[in-house]
Amino acid sequence: MKIVFASRSQQGLRNENQDRTGAELDPSKACFVVCDGVAGLPGGDQAAQLVRDSLLHQFKDCPAFTPAFTQQAIEQCRTLLYEAQGKNPKFSRMSTTLAALFIDRETQRAWWAHAGDSRVYHFRRGILHEVTRDHSLAQRLKEAGYENTGINSNLLYNALGAEPSRPVSFSEQILLEDGDAFLVCTDGFWLNLTTHEMEQALRMVNACEEWLALMEDAVNRNVKKDNLSALAVWIGEPQEATLLYSLADSARFLPPR
């Protein structure tokens, strides 16, 4: 199974970049992870790095790559994070979001996990197929049918290291198709792009790196207040599964004349 990926991470207007991205691939499996240290509390960058490093380390040494294993691995990340909090009172509340995509290359199946407002997007035949649901107040109000305009999207009720401890959300396993594409990203990235723009960018390119670069260019035309990070992942040949773009719909991605 052919897998290619590209990654980006920018500091934006923050004093530091608390995002961490990572990827590990071998002949039988793949893991892509994005963590975003929760702002406003000391140690967010350390929390993000600890979770990323621990998850990828466990991935490399896993005896059997299954959804159950990945659940255990993420809980181990949480345990290590609590231990680190206890060792340094200054960082006793450090926490991080998580979005992780797991691929079993032998069975050609994928699943993903997330906590907080970092997201996993799945595109099939150039169209958004699924996206994670944020663990945020804004998302809860939306799902309950209430107006959430003006609600701070960063008000989270779930993150690794936060109290009370809440379960990480896991998707069902899906059978991959040639041409599937994934975007694993922090809120600083997706807040500056619509789903339609992500789809349109996918239809305009012939390579995974080009897809991510095109989206990044569009994001960069806005004021980048927050850290923003993303991993783009292609299965097979997405460019052959998407439609030709129209010039009118792609105007945002073309440089001004």
Compute the distance between CA of residue 104 and CA of residue 175 in angstroms, rounded to an integer: 10
pLDDT in tens, 10-53: 887 777 889 999 999 999 999 999 999 998 788 999 999 999 99
Compute the distance between CA of residue 167 and CA of residue 32 in angstroms, rounded to an integer: 20
Into how many domains does the chain fold?
Answer: 1
Please report the DSSP string for 15-33 in residue order.
SS--EEEEEEE-SSEEEEE
State the pLDDT at residue 246. Answer: 43
* Cα angle: 103, vertex 106, 111; to 5 degrees: 25
Domain that holds residue 53: 3-253
Write the single-letter amino acid at 21: T
**52: CATH:** 3.60.40.10
Compute the distance between CA of residue 45 and CA of residue 20 in angstroms, rounded to an integer: 8
Please report the DSSP string for 31-56 in residue order.
EEEEEEEPTTSTTHHHHHHHHHHHHH
Average pLDDT, the chain: 89
- Phi first, then psi, for residue 177 (nearest 5°) are -120, 150
Q: Determine contact, residues 27/2, Cβ cutoff 8 Å.
A: no
**Cis peptide leading into residue 167 (ω within 30°):** no
Q: What is the pLDDT along the chain (257 residues), one digit of tens a residue?
A: 899 999 999 887 777 889 999 999 999 999 999 999 998 788 999 999 999 999 999 999 888 899 999 999 999 999 999 999 999 999 999 999 999 999 999 999 999 999 999 999 999 999 999 999 999 777 777 666 766 666 666 779 899 999 999 999 999 999 999 999 999 999 999 999 999 999 999 999 999 999 999 999 999 887 667 788 999 999 998 888 664 444 445 555 666 65
Tokens 């199974």 sit on residue: 1
